[in-house]
């Protein structure tokens, strides 16, 4: 299916970030990798890398062989990893050079002058997949590992990279295939296989398979939270101190704060690390019946943001009494995830805390803070962390799906299994069962890269960063 000539050439790219740094890493992969390294590198004692054992690293010099008299270009460490036991499954050479823009670019140019081709984004990992070093779900885990912004996301990517999702999918596929094979054998050889009572047994198994798949499907929301952060909308009436809270949590003056009610007009987003969590914090316009057109739109947007959010920080100004605007918000958040924040704890309290708890039927945690002095922010942090550690909202599920492509295939596998169940309930012939069982089998296979087309593979790897 895949063009083998294509994988016969040798590629190279800078693997370290495109920034000034102590060390820059350039990777060369393909059948000529070691020959190329021999042409451009010598140790101080004049030895070539091909003379060195596998998985070793050597100190030496890169020479600019484009000059008539090769010229020392950089002092480097060079490592050699021969295929098939390398990242890509091919011969790989890595150059650790000095990490300046100019020097890494120059070494790459020397490498390209030998006929090596620049690697496309994700091409090293794509080769690892094509050479059977990892399945598609593991290759995708490499990308999410690089993109991880917090502890949970990192742990989950590492789990996926070590093949946890893959083993679950493989075992499910094996069980589904067994049933299909049984049906096919029974239809071919009715003398030795008896299908009496089989549909009922199959139905029980299909329910078990469906449950396993729906658990993975359900974890997708948590997966998104883990990967992109908890969408947290800060909601409250004008002047409650919403923008001050955003500024306090993000650690700098992100939003404009004034004592004029209606300062924030449009929603403002900021990604912050909040304890172990990553929050996508959204400051919104203060909720009130505004006459001003712009402010009105701002208020509508505030409610839209709160609707989409995983969590609402409802900010009340504890130095003034509750008013109609607060009541409107109390009504709005009733069936949502929210924390009630009594802000301005540094001022004499006016607001009746007991009354608020009653109004909210005690269903939300209430916390006192001061966005001005920072009092209570640590408690808010702990409370938010605890909320998302709770197994109900949990980031502790066994396997967590973070990839939209995986979710889509799981949806389709699940739907196919529901068709099997329906055919059983409708008393259809056994061969109907196997068609939909096989469809579920195929969709699960796409997750790990069984029988996926070249286009899809190109699409997936093109999302990777350079040098990976
Ligand atoms: N004393 C005290 N003042 C605060 C606190 N938080 C905010 N303020 C003050 O309250 C006023 C309004 O603060 P903002 O953060 O702009 O309020 P907001 O909710 O974003 O207001 P809008 O954008 O108009 O909806 C400012 O003068 C802040 O300095 C606090 O904890 N203590
Ligand atoms: Mg504001």
Q: SS3 of 8, please?
A: helix
CATH number of the domain residue 127 falls in: 3.30.1360.120
Supply the pLDDT for residue 390.
Answer: 57
Residue 241 domain-assigned (yes or no): yes
Q: Do residues 210 and 61 both lie within one domain?
A: no
Q: At what angle do helices 324-333 and 293-308 cross, to 10 degrees?
A: 30
Instruction: Ligand 1 pocket test: pick from 371, 376, 380 the residue with the most ligand atoms within 8 Å of its Cβ.
Output: 371
Supply the pLDDT for residue 184.
Answer: 86
Residue 408 domain-assigned (yes or no): yes
Residue 224 domain-assigned (yes or no): no
Please write the tens of the pLDDT for every residue from 234-243.
999 999 999 9
Q: Do residues 199 and 345 both lie within one domain?
A: no
Residue 461 domain-assigned (yes or no): no
Ligand 1-lining residues (CB < 6 angstroms):
236, 238-244, 257-259, 261-264, 285-286, 343-344, 346-347, 370-372
Q: Do residues 119 and 173 both lie within one domain?
A: no
Residue 94 domain-assigned (yes or no): yes
- Strand pairing partners for 233? 282, 312
Taking phi first (over 0 means left), then psi (-120 to 50 degrees means alpha), and beta for anything else, what does residue 197 get?
Answer: left
| Among candidate residues 74, 107, 134, the one where a domain is terminated | 134
Q: Do residues 179 and 121 both lie within one domain?
A: no
Residue 462 domain-assigned (yes or no): no
Low-confidence ranges of the chain (pLDDT < 50): 1, 3-4, 391, 393-397
Supply the pLDDT for residue 1.
Answer: 42
Distance of CA 358 from the midpoint of ligand 2 (Å): 27
Q: Do residues 80 and 28 both lie within one domain?
A: yes
Number of structural domains in the chain: 3
**How many CB atoms within 10 Å of residue 393?**
17
Distance CA 367, CA 342 (A): 6
Q: Do residues 209 and 272 both lie within one domain?
A: no
Residue 376 phi, psi (nearest 5):
85, -10
Q: Do residues 163 and 262 both lie within one domain?
A: no
Please write the tens of the pLDDT for every residue from 308-349.
999 999 999 999 999 999 999 999 998 899 999 999 999 999
Supply the pLDDT for residue 362.
Answer: 65
| Among candidate residues 84, 113, 134, the one where a domain is terminated | 134
| Among candidate residues 134, 156, 191, the one where a domain is terminated | 134
Supply the pLDDT for residue 394.
Answer: 47
Q: Do residues 47 and 180 both lie within one domain?
A: no
| Shortest-distance ligand to the CA of residue 370 | 1
Query: What range defines the domain where residue 165 resides?
Result: 142-219+401-448
Residue 435 domain-assigned (yes or no): yes
Half-sphere exposure (Cβ direction) of 62: Cα atoms closer than 13 Å: 27
Q: Do residues 245 and 306 both lie within one domain?
A: yes
Q: Do residues 168 and 267 both lie within one domain?
A: no
| Residue pair 314/329 in contact by the 8 Å Cβ criterion | yes
Q: Do residues 303 and 360 both lie within one domain?
A: yes
Strand intervals (E) in 357-439: 366-368
Distance of CA 343 from the midpoint of ligand 1 (Å): 9
Residue 236 phi, psi (nearest 5):
170, 170
Instruction: Ligand 1 pocket test: pick from 234, 237, 239 the residue with the most ligand atoms within 8 Å of its Cβ.
Output: 239
CATH number of the domain residue 146 falls in: 1.20.120.430
Both structure tokens of 230: 């908890």
Residue 349 domain-assigned (yes or no): yes
Of 104, 80, 107, 114, the closest CA to residue 94 belongs to 80
Supply the pLDDT for residue 361.
Answer: 63
Q: Do residues 173 and 304 both lie within one domain?
A: no
């Amino acid at each position: 299916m895949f063009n083998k000539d294509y994988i016969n050439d040798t590629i190279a790219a800078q693997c370290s970030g495109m920034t000034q740094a102590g060390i820059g890493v350039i990777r060369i992969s393909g059948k000529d990798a070691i020959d190329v390294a021999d042409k451009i590198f010598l140790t101080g004692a004049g030895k070539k890398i091909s003379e060195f054992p596998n998985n070793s690293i050597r100190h030496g010099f890169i020479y600019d062989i484009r000059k008539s008299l090769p010229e020392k270009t950089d002092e480097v460490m060079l490592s050699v990893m021969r295929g098939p036991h390398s990242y890509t499954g091919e011969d790989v050479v890595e150059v650790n050079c000095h990490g300046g823009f100019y020097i890494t670019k120059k070494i790459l140019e020397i490498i390209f002058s030998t006929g090596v081709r620049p690697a496309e984004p994700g091409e090293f990992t794509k080769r690892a997949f094509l050479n059977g070093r990892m399945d598609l779900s593991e290759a995708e885990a490499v990308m999410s590992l690089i993109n991880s912004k917090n502890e949970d996301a990192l742990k989950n990517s590492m789990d996926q990279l070590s093949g946890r999702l893959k083993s679950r999918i493989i075992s499910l596929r094996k069980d589904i295939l067994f049933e299909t094979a049984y049906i096919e054998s029974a239809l071919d050889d009715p003398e030795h296989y008896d299908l009496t009572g089989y549909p009922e047994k199959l139905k029980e198994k299909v329910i078990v398979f469906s449950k396993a798949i729906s658990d993975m499907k359900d974890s997708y929301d948590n997966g998104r939270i883990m990967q992109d952060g908890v969408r947290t909308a800060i909601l409250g009436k004008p002047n409650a101190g919403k923008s001050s809270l955003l500024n306090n949590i993000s650690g700098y003056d992100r939003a404009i704060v004034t004592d004029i009610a209606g300062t924030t007009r449009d929603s403002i987003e900021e990604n912050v690390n909040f304890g172990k969590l990553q929050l996508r914090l959204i400051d919104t316009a203060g909720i009130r019946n505004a006459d001003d057109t712009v402010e009105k739109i701002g208020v509508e947007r505030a409610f839209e943001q709160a609707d989409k959010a995983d969590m609402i920080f409802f900010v009340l100004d504890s130095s003034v009494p509750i008013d109609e605007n607060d009541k409107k918000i109390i009504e709005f958040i009733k069936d949502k995830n929210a924390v009630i924040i009594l802000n301005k704890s540094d001022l004499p309290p006016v607001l009746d805390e007991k009354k608020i708890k009653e109004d909210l039927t005690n269903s939300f945690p209430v916390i006192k803070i001061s966005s001005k002095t920072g009092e209570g922010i640590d408690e808010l942090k702990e409370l938010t962390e605890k909320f998302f550690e709770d197994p109900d909202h949990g980031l502790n599920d066994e396997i967590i799906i973070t990839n939209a492509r995986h979710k889509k295939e799981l949806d389709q596998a699940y739907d196919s299994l529901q068709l099997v169940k329906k055919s059983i309930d409708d008393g259809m012939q056994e061969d109907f069962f196997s068609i939909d069982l096989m469809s579920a089998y195929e969709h699960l296979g796409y997750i790990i890269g069984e029988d996926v087309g070249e286009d899809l593979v190109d699409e997936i790897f093109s999302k990777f960063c350079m040098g990976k």
